Amino acid sequence: MGFIDPYYVVFLRYRVISTLPQLWRLATAFILTGPKLGLLMDPYFLYTYGSQLETEANRFTQPGDFFIYLLFVCLVILVSAHLSSLSFTFSFLHP
């Protein structure tokens, strides 16, 4: 990105669960995209396709269903990243 050090944006579990928790890491890990226009285009496509999905899909009938769906997807991504880091650490420590 150039203007922000990526160390302060990435998800580090020990920084989120600490004496002074850095809770922004839970959300900012999802805005890391490719260089150049990725930072602008990803939120645009999320808004465009998300609004179409929310208004036209039969699955999202209640007002908060799409938001709960996005939270669930974010949670699945965080859990899978945590599990893959655990398996990598285990395989590194036990060859």
Report pLDDT digits (tens) over 68-84.
888 898 888 878 877 77
91 pLDDT tier (thresholds 50, 70, 90):
low
From the CB of residue 11, how many other CB atoms can be counted at a distance below 10 Å?
Answer: 19
Report pLDDT digits (tens) over 6-49.
667 777 777 777 777 777 777 776 666 666 666 677 778 888 88
* Among 84, 85, 24, 56, CA closest to 10: 24
- pLDDT at 1 exceeding the cut of 50: no
DSSP state of 1: -
- Listed by start position, the domains of the chain span 1-32, 35-95
> Which of the pair, 56 or 13, is modelled with greater confidence?
56
| Radius of gyration for the chain, computed over Cα atoms and rounded to the nearest angstrom | 17
Q: Which helix (H) or strand (E) holds 53?
A: helix 38-56
